[in-house]
Amino acid sequence: MSGNEKLKEFLSISVYLLIVLFLSYMFVHFVGQRTLVNGVSMEDTLQDGDNLLVDKLTYRFNDPERFDVIVFKYTHKDNTYYVKRIIGLPGETVQIDNTGAIYINGNQIEEHYGYETIKDPGIAAAPITLGEDEFFVLGDNRNNSADSRVAQVGNIDRDIIVGRAWVRIWPLHNAGKVADIK
């Protein structure tokens, strides 16, 4: 192989690697992100140690929906993300009574995601009216979850939502779309 051929091959490989790096960067920052579930707040849906791919693209074009499992930045600690389920949507009033029933605009919602009956409604014992870009979230393991019932978490602003939990990629025997995990 001549010197020119070696240079062409080196440049070809370099351009290929730069394209791969650029596409990887674009994917991680704009399309998807890997997130590790740390803790038991989303059991039985998600387990401690699960690895998720987060869809960062969908909410650029569509609004988050009730019961979506989302990943959002926890604003009180750097590089910390929470995984929770959306219960209340912008403009709605959410309240949890002393029996653990969840009410949206005065109507009890039917949902089967909660791991058990809510024992402590927290700040949601009184009606909470969400702002135009706010969401009310709960962990599925309702009695072991720091979520919107806790003042330190509170209502979630849309601008701190990273994306929708899309696919569990690890452990492999539990891999699958999060929307299909119930």
The neighbouring-strand residues paired with 64 are none
> Distance between CA atoms of 136 and 46, rounded to whole angstroms?
19
The token duo for 125 is 């014992």
Question: Distance (Å, rounded) from C-alpha 128 to C-alpha 92?
Answer: 8
Alpha-carbon distances of 65 from 59, 107, 111, 122, 158, rounded to whole Å: 10, 18, 14, 23, 12
Active site residues: 41, 84
Interatomic CA distance for residues 175 and 120, integer angstroms:
32
Spatial distance between the Cα atoms of 154 and 82, rounded to a whole number of angstroms: 12
Q: How many CB atoms lie within 10 A of CB 124?
A: 23
